[in-house]
């Protein structure tokens, strides 16, 4: 899990993904000579802080993994504004950096005169307005479980980099802005379609533990969330998971979304399937995942990327 630990140390709240972009480009350059296929990396003004990794001459399937996280933006006085669905607890430690230096402060959750919850920071000085704060890294490995802030979506990135080691043909997309409704995906899909006519996508992200999705029961294949993807494409993923004896569970939800939602709502004819390990306490400082679910997630992507 050393790679996952390294990923969890990198701050990249939505809108400030550049540190993760730099980490990934450095990691790719240092490790790609040991991969089965040498990819072409596209990272330029058109992709922004996103990255396209193209493997092989005629790739058919893309893997999308978003590199941004939730967090908080410093507002007026000591107030904080959520980035995405950040869900902190009173006393959580937040970190960041402004014009005056490094920050390690405490999240304070209080009620105003109307009983509404307010978010504030507690620090020895005033923090520059507009500064982004994120949960302080706190990786805990306990038996079958890993607990840490930002398993969403460091697990998806970890999975993509592990798949890259053996991938012969396909595209890995590291996208931005997913936690704040869409981000870069529509543009990246357009670029990919223009280059490769690619219309098949797998979404490497995490999902939530619910009444129907449990820890340790395998990776979740989503049949639907707020969007309803093409059933024949989902059925193909299920078929290959069964054929290869990969442990999985089927998810059916009426809400939520991902990079897949953006693809479905684009003007492109893209088939997609969300496949990810379930976590609980999502968007908090104590997200938790079962190691076997991570293993089955990696296994199914290694099978599906050449076959879908």
What is the reported pTM? 0.96
266/189 Cα distance (integer angstroms): 9
Query: Where are the strands (E) in the chain, listed by range?
Result: 40-42, 51-55, 62-66, 71-74, 80-83, 93-98, 101-111, 117-122, 132-135, 140-142, 145-148, 170-175, 200-204, 207-208, 219-224, 248-252, 271-276, 278-280, 287-290
Per-residue pLDDT at 243: 98
The string of pLDDT tens digits covering residues 250-308 is 999 999 889 999 999 998 999 999 999 999 999 999 999 999 999 999 999 999 999 98
Which of 107-111, 116-120, 172-176, 191-195 has the largest mean confidence? 172-176
Indicate if the pLDDT at residue 151 is higher than 70.
Answer: yes
21/27 Cα distance (integer angstroms): 10
Q: Which whole number is the average pLDDT over 222-230?
A: 94
49/36 Cα distance (integer angstroms): 26
Mean pLDDT, the chain, as a whole number? Answer: 96
Indicate if the pLDDT at residue 111 is higher than 90.
Answer: no
The string of pLDDT tens digits covering residues 161-214 is 999 999 999 999 999 999 997 689 999 999 999 999 999 999 999 999 999 999
Per-residue pLDDT at 95: 98
State the pLDDT confidence band at 231, using cuts at 50, 70 and 90.
Answer: very high
298/277 Cα distance (integer angstroms): 9
Per-residue pLDDT at 223: 96
User: CA neighbours within 13 Å on the CB side: how many for 112?
Assistant: 7
The string of pLDDT tens digits covering residues 48-90 is 999 999 999 999 999 999 999 999 999 999 999 999 999 999 9
Q: Which whole number is the average pLDDT over 222-245?
A: 96
State the pLDDT confidence band at 127, using cuts at 50, 70 and 90.
Answer: very high
% of the chain surpassing 70 pLDDT: 100
Set out the domains of the chain in order of their start, with CATH numbers: 2-69+140-307 (3.40.630.10), 72-135 (2.40.30.40)
Distances (CA, A) of 41 to 177, 179, 224: 20, 24, 31
């Amino acid at each position: 899990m050393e790679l996952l630990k390294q990923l969890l140390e990198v701050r990249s709240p939505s809108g400030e993904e550049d540190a993760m972009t730099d980490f990934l480009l450095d990691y790719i350059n240092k490790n790609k000579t040991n991969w089965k296929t040498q990819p072409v990396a596209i990272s330029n003004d058109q992709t922004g802080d996103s990255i396209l990794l193209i493997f092989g001459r005629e790739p058919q399937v893309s893997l999308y993994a978003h590199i941004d996280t939730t967090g908080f933006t410093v507002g007026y006085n000591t107030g904080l504004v959520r980035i995405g669905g950040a869900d902190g607890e009173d006393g959580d430690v937040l970190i960041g950096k402004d014009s005056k230096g490094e920050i390690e402060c405490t999240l304070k959750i209080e009620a105003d005169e109307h009983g509404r919850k307010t978010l504030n920071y507690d620090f020895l000085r005033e923090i520059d307005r507009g500064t982004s704060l994120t949960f302080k890294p706190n990786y805990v490995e306990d038996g079958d479980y890993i607990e840490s802030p930002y398993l969403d979506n460091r697990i998806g990135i970890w999975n993509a980099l592990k798949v890259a080691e053996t991938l012969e043909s396909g595209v890995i997309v590291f996208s931005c802005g997913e936690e704040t409704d869409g981000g870069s995906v529509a543009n990246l899909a357009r670029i990919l379609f223009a280059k490769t006519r690619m219309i098949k996508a797998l979404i490497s992200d995490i999902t939530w533990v619910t009444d129907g999705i449990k820890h340790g029961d395998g990776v979740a294949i989503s049949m639907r969330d707020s969007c309803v993807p093409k059933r024949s494409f989902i059925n193909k993923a299920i078929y290959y998971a069964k054929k290869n004896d990969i442990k999985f569970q089927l998810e059916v939800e009426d809400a939520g979304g991902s990079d897949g939602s953006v693809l479905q709502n684009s003007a492109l004819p893209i088939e997609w399937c969300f496949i990810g390990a379930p976590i609980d306490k999502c968007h908090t400082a104590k997200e938790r995942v079962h190691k076997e679910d991570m293993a089955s997630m990696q296994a199914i992507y290694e099978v599906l990327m050449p076959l879908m």
